[in-house]
Amino acid sequence: MTIHHDWEKADAAHLGPLSAPRMAWFIGEARAPGVNPMPVSKRAFDLILVLILLVPLSVVMLTVAGLLLLLQGRPILYAAHRMRAPNQPFTQWKFRTMLCEEDDFGATGAHKAWRITPMGRFLRRSRIDELPQLFNILRGDMSFVGPRPPLREYVERFPAVYAQVLHSRPGVTGLATLIYHRHEDRILARCKSAE
Is residue 194 in a domain?
Answer: no
Domain co-membership, 95 together with 24: no
Domain co-membership, 26 together with 95: no
Residue 178, domain extent: 38-188
Q: Which residues of the chain have pLDDT under 50?
A: 1-27, 29-32
- Give, as one character, the DSSP assignment of residue 170: P
Is residue 23 in a domain?
Answer: yes
Alpha helical stretches, state H, the chain: 6-15, 20-27, 40-71, 118-126, 133-139, 152-157, 159-165, 175-180, 184-188
Side-chain half-sphere of 36: how many Cα atoms within 13 Å?
14
The residues, any chain, with a CB within 8 Å of residue 25's CB and separated by 6 or more, are 140
pLDDT at residue number 106: 57
Over the chain, what is the mean pLDDT?
Answer: 80
Q: Give the bridge partners for 88, in sequence order.
A: 85
Q: pLDDT digits over 127-184, tens only?
A: 999 999 999 999 999 999 999 999 999 999 999 999 999 988 999 988 777 777 666 6
Task: Tell me the pTM.
Answer: 0.75
